[in-house]
Structure 1
Amino acid sequence: MILLVPGDPLRPRRPDEHFAPEAAAARVAGLDVAVVDHDALTRGGAGRAVGAVPAGSGVAVYRGWMLRGPEYAAFAESLAVRGVRLRTTAEEYRKAHELPGWYAALATVTPLSEWTEGWRRADFERARIGLGSGPAVLRDYSKSMKAYWHEATFIPDLDDAEAGWRVAQRFLELREDEAVGGFVLRRYERFGSAEVRTWWIDGECVLVGAHPDTPHEIPGTEVDLVAVAPLVAGLGLPFVTVDLALRADGVWRVVELGDGQVSDRPASMRPEDLIARIAD
């Protein structure tokens, strides 16, 4: 197996500084490592992006920055030409990376959600009305703007159509060309703990750690995965992360599921621990 990481923009033959610790850990674990040009991947140059990947390297796992579904598909196709197969297919990547791909399977353990295809107000209104009354959280298929909570994420009352649309417009302003798929409206649930990021390989939870946004905060209560585990396994995905938080009533809820290749590792997690699970 070969680990693929983004190259440093200024020193393209070296791993990007953010992923260099994982690249070093992979080499120590006996894995081959190659760099790819992330900028080229996002600009339609997938063939050029994988030029440094040795031909015939076999199965590859990517650890890098987020890619849109079509970008990842082009990435996979360009690697296949070189005799390299990404362990996560383009279909599997999109299923994990975009909320509509995984929501139905996890609907019982995650906030109620409605979404649109595209960014038209009429579609937003249908989703808003479909979710009902009360507060909600806005995002797109792959990302929220929770750093801008009050202006681009939180909708205090879905019955206030104008206020909701202002939040949606501000979300689009901030996401600009990076917005993916359409609007996603999620029922707001009050959580009483920091989020936990769990790492899953072939449907089995192999690591539990802090969320990258709160790398040194772990809930005092052990994460209960009894309800979540069979649902994640049922997705049949090779490498994902599942972020959970303890709701105010003491129930663990899924906040997000993502493809493990583009999920950030918290600073408090040793790169060796993650790479060891990937290598296994």
Structure 2
Amino acid sequence: MLYVIYRGWMLGASEYQKLVTAISQAGACIQTSSVDYLATHYLPNWDHLIKDLTPETHFYHTDGDLKIELEKLGWDRFFVKDYVKSLKTSMGSIISHPSEIDLIIAEMHKFRGTIEGGICVRRVEDFIPTSEQRYFVIDGKVFGSDANEPIPEIALDCATRIKSRFFSIDTIDRQDGVKRIVEIGDGQVSGLVGWTTERFVEICHSFN
């Protein structure tokens, strides 16, 4: 049996299932099932597993009164995204007042074309932007971009809680010295941020 690892653009749920089916019909098997793909690709599917390791997050339907919901949270700032992506253009993803939520959703529709899944609102923590690091997990083993550097405990802990075969973990340092997880993603569609292609190919040989 030929086993396949997909590397490409982020796919929606139906698109990914079509890919799995096409690969199967070609006589091969993709390493990441549709269930595993969505387990790390959609934020609500992993947030509850690592609530103590990542910023507080709430999930909403786009047709609800989000201004009232954000007012209930009482936060100073809100990081807004859909189940997959944040807004990296125009006004960005962080708003300071609940009244701005309708505008940011409109901007997401404008620049993204669609909102995938629903709305995720994350509490903004005091992070050090330059400290963000990406790790990949294959069958429970965590790999860093430098094979000689130790893996942080928070990434090792996360890898034991999430059972998908292949995913990425993004860690970051808070100003108070606490390390946090800011993102989990499917390993196939996660960019090689801070990684060389050679190192990524090397770890892919770890698949059983």
Q: Give the structure-1-normalised TM-score.
A: 0.67
> CA separation in 2, counterparts of 1:189 and 1:133?
11
* Structure 1: gaps of 5 or more residues: 1-56, 210-221
Q: Is the 8 A contact 2:172 2:180 kept in 1?
A: yes
Counterpart residue type for residue 142 of structure 2: C
Identity %: 27
* Structure 2: gaps of 5 or more residues: none
Is 1:82 aligned to 2:19, yes or no? no
Name which one, 1 or 2, has greater alpha-carbon Rg: 1
Counterpart residue type for residue 83 of structure 1: G
**Equivalent residue in structure 2 for 1:244, among 171, 179, 188:** 171
> CA separation in 2, counterparts of 1:224 and 1:273?
15
Match of 1:168 in 2: 105
Match of 2:189 in 1: 262
Match of 2:40 in 1: 96
Q: Give the structure-2-normalised TM-score.
A: 0.88
> CA separation in 1, counterparts of 2:69 and 2:33?
30
1:251–1:127 CA distance, 2 compared to 1 (3 A): same
Is 1:140 aligned to 2:82, yes or no? yes
> CA separation in 1, counterparts of 2:87 and 2:26?
37
Which structure would you say has the larger RCO, counting Cα contacts within 8 Å and 6 or more residues apart?
A: 2
**Superposition RMSD in Å:** 2.0
Match of 1:204 in 2: 141
Match of 2:197 in 1: 271
Counterpart residue type for residue 177 of structure 2: G
1:121-159 CA deviation, whole Å, 9 max, x = no partner?
A: 42x3464245332211111100111344xx2411113xx
Q: Is the 8 A contact 1:109 1:254 kept in 2?
A: yes
> CA separation in 2, counterparts of 1:223 and 1:188?
28
Is 1:109 aligned to 2:49, yes or no? no
> CA separation in 2, counterparts of 1:132 and 1:242?
29
> CA separation in 1, counterparts of 2:14 and 2:68?
27
1:91-127 CA deviation, whole Å, 9 max, x = no partner?
A: 000111110111001111111001123x2142x3464
Aligned length: 203
Question: SS in structure 1 opposite 2:52?
Answer: helix
> CA separation in 1, counterparts of 2:165 and 2:158?
14
Match of 2:94 in 1: 154
